[in-house]
Structure 1
Amino acid sequence: MELTNKVALVTGSTGGIGAAIARGLAAAGAAVVVVGRREEEGAAVAKELPRATFVAADLTRRDARQRAIDAALDHFGGLDILVNNAAANALGPAIQGTEEDFDRLVALNYRAAFFLTQAALPALIASGAGRVVNVSSIGTIKTFAGGAIYNSTKAALDNLTRTWAQEHGPDGVRVNSVNPGIVVDGPMSAPVQAFLDLERDVVPTIPARRPATAADVAAVVTFLAGPGADYLNGVILPLDGGLTA
């Protein structure tokens, strides 16, 4: 229970990877603020955790970002861990990319994470041992055709990881990124699996011979949020079964 007395806020945690992360942090002892757009699903995730509250929020909106942070402060008295997991995807050749898709992905994957973290930093600094974990993508390290918009927003998030680590390491805040490959039970894997034959095209390229699971991501996020990762800062961590080795 390394995260006992810690408070975590997990975006995009009404299902899939985010819900697995919320469960992992709760199992390690943290109180969790579950944040997402889907009210019924988010409330159900929060209900199953020992200490949790749910905030229905569209994080592309400024007022929603502040409400999420206020929920951590009001319900649990502080904020120690921020997990930027909420994301959107759009697959297809760059030549076919639309401004609507571009704006939608930038708004959630990059802009929302930037300004939510900015708003959370005073509380994270006050914690004395604040943690920011960004859920990025292996596509920033080994790109793939069809992922131009998505991968570029996640590359921007990786850059923020390094920059915030530099800026706020002296404040006791550690900022790291976990970069999964295809997560077989993640909500955004369905369009990827429609785009690729997973068993034929992907699994043979992975030395571990399997794709990632939401539980794999949750385990790494929980580690990065805990005291064992105190000397990790600005790390971009591939969670890819050896794909980029």
Structure 2
Amino acid sequence: MTQGQLHGRHALVTGGSRGIGVAIAKRLVGEGALVTILGRNSTRAEQVAKTIGAAGFVSADVADRDGLTAAIRAAEDDHGGVSILVNNAGAAESAPFLKAPPEQFQRMLSVNLESVVTACHAVLPGMIAAGTGRIVNIASTAGLKGYRYVSAYVAAKHAVVGLTKALALETAETGVTVNAVCPGFADTDLVRESVARIQEKTGRSEAEIVAEMVSDNPQKRLIDPQEVADCVVWLTGDGARSFTGQSLAVAGGEVM
């Protein structure tokens, strides 16, 4: 059996127990990384970790700064310093801007941006001391363009892209790279649940709803989570050591 390119490296994936996070974690395991799944639901995180052969799991609400830091420290106690951090956890809420209360902006910034800040604060000192590290922030095409009715989410994801660029510059001489991956609408359970809710409210067919979702994607399809995972794995490998501060759109040409 050959060893993968990430053999022995400790990778931590936030939001690793659902959707794109599972796909990323599974690919990292396949490349030989010691993967820690971080999820809010400990039962789900444990089940996913066992199913994909991850090294372990920890549980935290990423919006809880102290809880997230403690979970990362627990993972490091078990498997050593984190050398690959994938900030995948996130959430989206929709509302027209004039009906979006300040609390919605606060929630979106807390989950989508502040969690990235907290996790990076936790692992960066160790990466810099080791002279190597990979941080990949899962943003969204909403971090590269605007969308109607999700202004708080768009603002938060744009902030993640900006943070990625700033951190990449600050760490450029340390052996650490920081990049973002920006998927379009992906074929995940969360998207399918959203489609089902829209069906229930409107009576429209699944095909009609999905077609509207992907209308801005020139390929007219939902993104396979595996495509996002493949991009992440490449960014974490040695071949991407000169690639930092970038935001890769995995979106069928929606953003060019």
Q: TM-score range by the shorter chain?
A: over 0.9
The one-letter code of the counterpart of 1:173 is: V
User: For residue 166 of structure 2, what is the aligned residue in structure 1?
Assistant: 163
Where do residues 1-245 of structure 1 align in structure 2 (5 Å cutoff)?
1-187=4-190, 190-191=193-194, 194=198, 197-245=208-256
Q: Name the SS of the counterpart of 1:142 in structure 2.
A: coil
Moved more, 94-103 or 182-191: 182-191
Unaligned runs of 5+ in 1: none
CA RMSD, 1 decimal: 1.9
Contact 2:195/2:210 (CA < 8 Å) preserved in 1? no
Equivalence for 2:202: none
Residues 59-101 of structure 1: per-residue CA shift (max 9 Å, x gap): 2223222222213321112210011111111012111102222
Q: Is the 8 A contact 1:186 1:213 kept in 2?
A: no
Greater CA deviation, 49-58 or 4-13?
49-58
Q: CA deviation at 1:105?
A: 1.2
Q: Tell me how far 1:139 sits from its aligned partner.
A: 1.3
The whole-number CA distance in structure 2 between the counterparts of 1:86 and 1:67 is 16
CA distance in 1, matches of 2:192, 2:125: 34
TM-score (norm 2): 0.89
The alpha-carbon deviation at position 22 of structure 1 amounts to 0.8
Does structure 1 conserve the Cα–Cα contact (< 8 Å) formed by 2:143 and 2:160?
no
Deviation per CA, 1:190-242: give whole Å up to 9, x if none: 43783994443244542323121211111111111111211100001111111
Instruction: Give distance in 2, aligned partners of 1:63 and 1:171.
Output: 27
Describe the SS at the equivalent of 2:63. Answer: coil
- Greater mean alpha carbon deviation, residues 47-56 or residues 25-34: 47-56
Note if contact 2:81-2:123 (Cα within 8 Å) is conserved in structure 1. no
Paired residues in the alignment total: 245
Take 2:125 and 2:95, find their aligned partners in 1: how far apart are those partners? 39
- 1:5 and 1:126 mapped to 2: Cα distance? 18
Q: Distance between the aligned counterparts of 1:186 and 1:89, measured in 2?
A: 14
Runs of 5+ in structure 2 lacking a partner? 200-205
Partner letter of residue 53 of structure 1? G
